[in-house]
Amino acid sequence: MSSAVQQAISTATKQAMRDRAKARLGVLRMINAEFKRIEVDERIELDDSRCLAVLDKMSKQRRDALDQYKSADRQDLADIEEAELAIIQEFLPTALSEDEIIAIVAAAKTESGAASMQEMGKLMALVKPQVQGRADMGAVSKLVKAALSA
């Protein structure tokens, strides 16, 4: 039994085949291939949270490549990365606003009792599952540091 995320991607793949959407189909197949690779390598069946983590990682890779292509004046390659990123983000939950992330960090700080930078790992362990796939972890990390230094 596959996760809801995998089923959604499978359905989208079939639709892309029917629509003859070559670029979209390529990205969806790449996502499916990554899911399969992890399932085979680790001998596990992916659940929704792990699928979202994989999609989050793939979108981060696309954002990093996008920045590099833009700084190298390669708009042709940047356009490809943007298109792939848009397709991957369709399957991620809606992004959290900065205020929502701050509220999650504040609640986790209260719950964990973390008060210093040495306890950042403990605080991140509470925050990460709540924001996975819905926020850039680099930005979340900065907000956690700010909360601990305040």
CATH number at residue 123: 1.10.10.410
14 and 85 co-located in one domain? yes
115 and 77 co-located in one domain? no
Round to the nearest angstrom and report the end-to-end CA distance of the chain.
Answer: 46
* Burial category of 38 from C-beta neighbours within 10 Å (exposed 0-12, middle 13-18, buried 19 and up): middle
Say yes or no to pLDDT of 1 above 60. no
The per-residue pLDDT for range 80-123, each reduced to its tens digit, is 999 999 999 999 888 888 889 889 988 888 888 878 888 888 88
Instruction: Tell me the C-alpha to C-alpha distance, in Å, between residue 137 and each of 45, 58, 128, 144.
Output: 25, 13, 8, 10
20 and 68 co-located in one domain? yes
Look up the domain containing 56 and give its range.
Answer: 4-89
